[in-house]
Structure 1
Amino acid sequence: MPNILFAATTDRWADYEAPLTAALDATGLDYRLATEMPPEEVDYIVYAPNSAVQDFTPYNRLKAVLNLWAGVENVTGNETLRAPLARMVDDEGLGQGMVEWVTGHVLRHHLGMDTHIVNPDRTWDDTAPPLSRDRPVTILGLGTLGQACAKALRGLGFPVTGWSRSAKQLSGVRCLNGAEGLGVALDGARIVVLLLPDTAATENTLDAGALARLAPGAVVLNPGRGPLIDDEALLAALDSGQVGHATLDVFRVEPLPVDHPYWAHPKVTVTPHIASATRPESAARVIAENIRRGEAGEPLLHLVDRAAGY
């Protein structure tokens, strides 16, 4: 019988207790699920990085840590964690939410909706936007979420270029990789979507040099991770007109401080880290399936490469 420790904040337990119980019951396993348990009895930890559990050393029979979040940058560097770490890849919740946010904001900028929604001078500009086939979109990051967004945008008719550190293949999408491929992906890009993980190798992917390669007036969308962007370089590019608008959902410090320049900048839209949220019902099924796999001796899903950082 697996012993499962739920290690997260109290409000999370209120959200997850019923869905996790239902999902674990559906596996047919006998199990014990609790928010407190002697460390030496714990087999699996359902984990939020901001929980009280930071030292994994006492958990000497631990089979796996199952992260509640897609991001694992606050866990991978923990040297006390020796058990396998799985990140949250929830196609129903995280994936669909990200697709909806990305496609919604790409269409918003593609169609120029802001001009029509906020038009205090009542100007009549009947210039039609180009069709989607004439508006290329570049996605940096072709993991599960990046691929889902690329497919959705391709389905709407946008030519999509995707870039990733390692080679990927995706039908209908121009896939590039490596340092040279990143330059090609950025050159002349008109809408750029950032969906890379937060690692030492991806920090400041959009720096001054990268922003200079974009088409003048390009749009930047960041629902990925705050450190992917050099904030000072982006603000300078917005002021110069090199970047026409930035819609940002993630930041180096969250909540975004009230005095941060992004709040007041006329070419910046701030959304409060809502692009892709873990939904308890669907996330519970992902967690339960991994525990079932662990007990059956099957490979766990969504394992993290600790060396790569994701």
Structure 2
Amino acid sequence: MSILYRSDAARAPAWVRYFAEHAPDLDFRVWPDAGDLDEVEYLIAWQAPADFIAQLPRLKVFFSSGAGVDHVDFSAIPAHVPIVRMVEPGIIDGMVEYVSLCVLALHRDFFDYLQAKAARSWAPLKVLPASARTIGVMGMGSLGSAVLQRLASYGFDLRGWNRSRRELPGVESFAGAEQLQPFLAGCDVLICLLPLTPATRGILNRELFSRLPAGAALINVGRGSHLVDADLLEALDSGQLSRAILDVTEPEPLPVEHPFWAHPRVFLTPHVASMTQPESAAPILLENLRRHQRGEPLEDAIDRSRGY
């Protein structure tokens, strides 16, 4: 039984070591040393080019090497082949760390103090308790729920919005299009952790920003295509939004001439908020593969009709 890894080459050796030690019965291959593609039954990959998938006639499961699957061309993968997204502790922990850093930096006016330092200005700002800030998370899946649970430990007032209602202790829950406006109305910091689907593409736009309290901040760790760039710049320049922290952009890398680079109230990182960690991902994926071999349902298989 053959498994082909076709993702980040730098992480491939860790995958090879784990499968060699824990699943010596499996033929683990790394692209481009793939051997006979007719033998490949499981694929671990970031993307699924149609011409490549067509060369895998025995493919049984497509394992995405990332938490999102919006980059995957569903039409290229036969309908009978499950698509499984990566949900593993390394991805979750990385996202929790990054979002916590961003929220705390905004809460404690870190970016204001950076500007003050550049101006050599000693200008203390009033310190507010965490309970005085309301943090809202759009997307209460595995990542969003973990972020909310960590932020709760700091004492922030928390609310979450999801397509369908999900309840978390200490979090005010909102669901569906009819509850989006009341959700937004109370958010001092808005965090986007939505999956990218046709319904969520461009959701971070002028209308949404107008529903937030004046001076709110945005953290986008979803996908760059969630955001309408021109609308964000307008909201920042008008004061409707105070700051934006963007880990994702469209396109990536962001072109050097893009106005985000020079805008004083935009902070950018190059899609590094969360990454798959082979040491924690390989055991999760292997157990899922064994479930499939035993005829049991796969964990974290996506619903193609929803896109996640």
Unmatched runs of 5 consecutive residues or more in structure 2? none
- Following superposition of structure 1 onto structure 2, how do residues 179-258 of structure 1 map, counting pairs within 5 Å? 179-258=177-256
Q: What amino acid does structure 2 have at the position aligned with 1:30? A: D
Q: Distance in 2 between matches of 1:43 and 1:197?
A: 27
Contact kept, 8 Å, 1:138 with 1:186, in 2: the verdict is yes
Name 1:16's counterpart in structure 2.
Answer: 12
* SS of equivalent residue, structure 2 residue 260: helix
The whole-number CA distance in structure 2 between the counterparts of 1:182 and 1:7 is 39
Q: Does 1:30 align with 2:25?
A: yes
Cross-structure match for 2:4 = 5
Between Structure 1 and Structure 2, how many residues are aligned? Answer: 303
Do the aligned residues in 2 keep the contact of 1:20 with 1:281 (CA within 8 Å)? Answer: no
Query: More displaced, 154-163 or 283-292?
Result: 283-292
CA contact (8 A) 2:200 2:226 kept: yes
Paired residue secondary structure (1:118): helix
Change in Cα spacing, 1:296 to 1:116, as seen in structure 2 (3 Å) is same
CA gap 1:23/1:55 in 2 versus in 1, 3 angstroms = closer
TM-score (norm 1): 0.92
Could you tell me which residue of structure 2 aligns to residue 160 of structure 1? 158
**C-alpha distance in structure 1 between counterparts of 2:196 and 2:127, whole Å:** 34
The structure-2 alpha-carbon separation of the partners of 1:106 and 1:54, relative to structure 1 and needing over 3 Å to count, comes to: farther
Runs of 4+ in 1 over 6 A off after TM superposition: none
**Does the 8 Å contact 1:142/1:162 carry over to 2?**
yes
Highest RCO, 1 vs 2 (Cα 8 Å, sep ≥ 6): 1
Question: 1:114 and 1:18 mapped to 2: Cα distance?
Answer: 37
Amino acid in structure 2 at the alignment position of 1:178: G
- 1:105 and 1:127 mapped to 2: Cα distance? 18
Aligned partner letter, 1:61: R
TM-score, normalization by structure 2: 0.93
State which of 99, 102, 124 in structure 2 corresponds to 1:102.
99
Distance 1:14 1:245 in 2: 34
- For the residue of structure 2 that corresponds to 1:150, the secondary structure is helix
- For the residues of structure 2 that align with 1:169 and 1:238, how far apart are their CA atoms? 32
Residues 1-310 of structure 1: pairs in structure 2 closer than 5 A:
2-8=1-7, 12-23=8-19, 25-26=21-22, 28=23, 30-34=25-29, 35=31, 36-49=34-47, 54-82=51-79, 83-91=81-89, 93-119=90-116, 120-310=118-308
Report if aligned partners of 2:49, 2:73 keep a CA contact under 8 Å in 1. Answer: no
1:13–1:289: structure 2 CA closer, same or farther, 3 Å change rule?
Answer: farther
- CA RMSD, 1 decimal: 1.8
Shift of 1:97: 0.6
